[in-house]
Amino acid sequence: MSNSLSRVDVYNEDYIGLNHAYVQMYKFYNRLMEVSDADDEVLSVIREILLVFNPTLDRIKSEMTIKTRYKEEKSESEKQTDMSAGNSVILHGNFTGD
């Protein structure tokens, strides 16, 4: 297979979409935790996906080129500006149900 793209090229191009999917699952998980008739099996599967997905996103992010990587040292006001501009942020949560 001869392809001109590298792994880092794909990471740079698709990270935001993957991060968005993670954020959507995280929000869904939290909303589902609040209902009285939540399906424990669905919660368990989503929790497992989030547990595996979170460090994987961190690994992908660590291999991205500096130009495309989100800078952790941004101030809170810069982070808020980025979030309101539609930039993605990885949410870290407790998915163990504790």
Q: Concatenated DSSP letters for 24-57?
A: HHHHHHHHHHTSTT--HHHHHHHHHHHHHHHHHH
Quote the CA–CA distance of 91 and 20 in Å, as a whole number.
10
Lowest mean pLDDT among 48-52, 54-58, 77-81: 77-81
Q: What is the pLDDT of residue 92?
A: 62
Mean pLDDT of 74-92: 55
Q: What is the pLDDT of residue 66?
A: 67
Q: What is the pLDDT of residue 41?
A: 97
Quote the CA–CA distance of 22 and 28 in Å, as a whole number.
10
Q: What is the pLDDT of residue 65?
A: 79
Q: What is the pLDDT of residue 54?
A: 94
> What is the pTM assigned to this prediction?
0.63
